[in-house]
Amino acid sequence: MDMSDDRRRADGERAAPDLDAQLRDVIDDYMGHFVPDPEQTAGIRERILHLVRNDLYRGPSTKLRTDEGHEYSIASTAVRAIVRDAVDTVDGIRARSVRIVSAGEPYGSAAEVALTVTMRADTHVVTSADEIRTAVSEALVRELGVPASRIDIEVEDAYVE
């Protein structure tokens, strides 16, 4: 469904190809009258994202525990964002899915992470996996104060820049 501009233009030019030329002109006129302007789309975008963020605040949370033993909850989306951002710092790697569950003894003093990534075609898997684990571990300690007790990484796809 992601049509290139060239194809769209070509398709526009042959809209209703078997209709006579005059009717095609009218249809082209009609199409031309309904082209969104950037101001219009910007307003809709803001409204959509406002509603989406409001919905997000009602999402699930993850229970964790500080190294002093104090239990706290944080939005699961926020924890995932921390992990995603850490993964994205590794050259040639983009995070896709991030799953985090509380772990450790006492419960919540550590986190188990399972993530899927997409990898640039020329990236070395083993080296990158080490870098991902380091980046994620450091981010969890730095941002949340909990270590990662396990980090599973699955390479789901490769991409070419």
Partner 1 sequence: MDIVTLVVRAREGDVDAFASLVDRYETKLLRFCMRTLGDRQDAEDVVQDTFVQAWKSLNALASPEAFGTWLYRMASNRCTDVLRKRVSRPSDPFDPEDFGAHADDRASVEKRVEARSALERFAQVFSTLSSEQRVTWVLCQMEGLSYAEVADTLGITEGSVRGRIHRARAAIVEGMKGWT
Q: What is the contact surface with partner 1 in residues (CB under 8 A)? A: 1-3, 7-8, 10-12, 15-16, 18-20, 22-23, 25-27, 29-31, 33-36, 40-41, 43-45, 47-49, 51-53, 55-56, 59, 75-77, 80-81, 84, 94-98, 116, 118, 157, 159
CB of 120 to partner 1, least distance (A): 12
CB of 6 to partner 1, least distance (A): 11
The whole-angstrom separation of Cα 66 and Cα 119 is: 33
Q: CA separation (Å) from 10 to 7, 24, 29, 57, 84?
A: 5, 14, 16, 44, 40
**CB nearer to partner 1: pick between 110 and 115:** 115
DSSP state of 24: H
**CB nearer to partner 1: pick between 68 and 121:** 121
Q: What are phi and psi of 110, to 5 degrees?
A: -150, 170
**CB nearer to partner 1: pick between 34 and 68:** 34
Cβ neighbour number for residue 140 with a 10 Å cutoff: 23
**CB nearer to partner 1: pick between 48 and 125:** 48
**CB nearer to partner 1: pick between 32 and 106:** 32
CB of 113 to partner 1, least distance (A): 13
The whole-angstrom separation of Cα 8 and Cα 2 is: 10
CB of 79 to partner 1, least distance (A): 10
CB of 8 to partner 1, least distance (A): 6
Q: Match 């500080």 to its residue by tokens.
A: 66
Residue 139 neighbours by CB under 8 Å, 6+ apart: 82, 83, 85, 86
